[in-house]
Amino acid sequence: MEKDNKTTGKVVGIVSNLVMVEVDGPVAQNEICFISLGNESLMAEVIKVVGKVAYVQVFESTRGLKTGSKVEFQGHLLEVTLGPGILSRNYDGLQNDLDKMEGIFLKRGEYTDPLNREKKWAFKPIAKVGDEVQAGDWLGEVNENDQPHKIMVPFKMKGSFKIKEIVPEGEYIVDHNIAVVEDEDGAETRLTMVQKWPVKLAVGSYKEKPRPFKLLETGVRCMDTLNPITEGGTGFIPGPFGTGKTVLQHAISKQAEADIVIIAACGERANEVVEVFTEFPELEDPRTGKKLIERTIIIANTSNMPVAAREASVYTAMTIGEYYRAMGLKVLLMADSTSRWAQALREMSNRLEELPGPDAFPMDLSAVISNFYSRAGFVYLNNGSTGSITFIGTVSPAGGNLKEPVTESTRKAARCFYGLSQARADSKRYPAIDPIDSYSKYLEYPEVQENLARNVGDSWLNEVNKAKDVLLRGKEAMEQINILGDDGVPIGFHETFWKSELIDFVILQQDAFDKIDSSTPMKRQQYMLSKVLDVVDSSFAFNHFEDVSSFFKEVINEFKQMNYSEFDSDNFKQHEEALEKLLKTQAN
């Protein structure tokens, strides 16, 4: 709640975006304040309090700021505004609507309303007078880009309430009083379609949060087949520059089974963020046939923006995700790149002169990352519905070093590891996910195994493990061939290598520019993996190592033509028949 008498202060020290403020009253951690600079007010957040001095990180450039400047504290934490009209919007890390900004360059001290306060929404009540409700319960819904946007009891309200009044079905602006609720003491509260929530606090308006158990189909074979992620799961994609992190995120965003997609460009370079702005409005949504941007929210903070805004962007994105999860929707949250967020934490930690950890990152970096990742998940709501946030972040380790602190800390928090390989990217094997180093810990969960067996097949897990084993043995065979030469090893080594190449070319590699091959349903993935493993298990007769490569190249070509054909179509079956004939010619 906001304080009646706001605390004020004056600037007594400035270190770039870190400003020291001498206060005349109480202030709280993460409280928001505004610093006066001429006709401008600069927004800042309290990150440390020592005695009567508050250390605040400013979300704008502090150029021209002097000691003695007046500061006014707002009595509330850094918050987001939640309500109808968030979808299709382009926000910065503070939830300013970038489309409402004027000019080419963002002006310092300019803040815009994230919602359209004048638009009328067709409201349909769900609850009725006399119902008992609590925080997060649904009062009604409006149609937001064909999504059922639930209007909820604000998350901040504690205890149980009885609905005293609720408006009938009709069109209302977001600030219209749509309900009146009464607490146990008879105190009334008027509710609108808008509510606010602090971004650093997790929204806990749900009944239960079990371990994720449902497979989330992304359409990307090297993920779904070998190392699947679950609905409500967490994963991360580390890799050197140029290995395809952003492109892979775009593919997952377009194809994954999600109702809402949130892209948090938390500090990537401006040109990559521009691609998101220009491409997403043009991409066709395979789920609805409309534009993908209609169910997408973009939070943009490029690397040339202040570090404080970069840090806020990931929390803003997660809080908006939790809001839509509380509506019973599947949310996919993609962050690119969390390394920039960690670097922002490092900069502020250094300016605070805190004891540095490895590579000068904060000592509590691992805890901060873990706390953030823990906000994702699959939940059961109070009314029995389910919602989820599946979070996948990218990491850009300096020099491609996967042992650096951000990657190591994220590895402890995320359950799926999709490591991108520079060697695979250089050889144009995309997606460049390393099949041997990558893993999914969800495959260890009994409930996930049961769900896979029920929906994909009892033999699926064994086939996945067999494929990974073939890939590993193929890598070992290749190393022997490289050391001893083609004619220095038995023909069996060449056969082992080419069987691993078969899995690589047919299952792992995928053509993002082909209409059919760009996304593969789970049923088709299961069929193709079984087909490939049948070839791997077959015995062939070869007289020379050159015969091995020429034969398997033909086999791979037939399989790839199957990948490019509609599943079970005449063209697909023709290539399947051609493949069977080819296999018989070399059978032992």
Q: Which residues are part of a known binding site for ATP?
A: 239-246
Nearest CA to 50 among 21, 12, 13?
21
* Tokens encoding 49: 């309090």
109-to-39, 41, 89, 307, 309 alpha-carbon distances in Å: 9, 5, 20, 16, 13
Place of tokens 């702005």: 277
The conformation of residue 210, written as its DSSP 8-state character, comes to P
The conformation of residue 443, written as its DSSP 8-state character, comes to G
Q: Helices 460-484 and 491-503, interaxial angle, to 10°?
A: 130
Nearest CA to 93 among 278, 319, 276?
319
237-to-102, 141, 196, 240 alpha-carbon distances in Å: 35, 36, 32, 10
Place of tokens 């064994």: 462
Query: Would you report the helix, strand and coil content of the chain in percent, each value rounded to 5?
Result: 35, 25, 40
How far, in Å, CA of 498 to CA of 510, rounded? 18
In this structure, are residues 160 and 143 in contact, taking their beta carbons and an 8 Å threshold?
no
Bridge partners of 148?
143
How far, in Å, CA of 508 to CA of 510, rounded? 7
In this structure, are residues 305 and 311 in contact, taking their beta carbons and an 8 Å threshold?
no
11-to-18, 21, 22, 348, 584 alpha-carbon distances in Å: 11, 4, 6, 18, 82
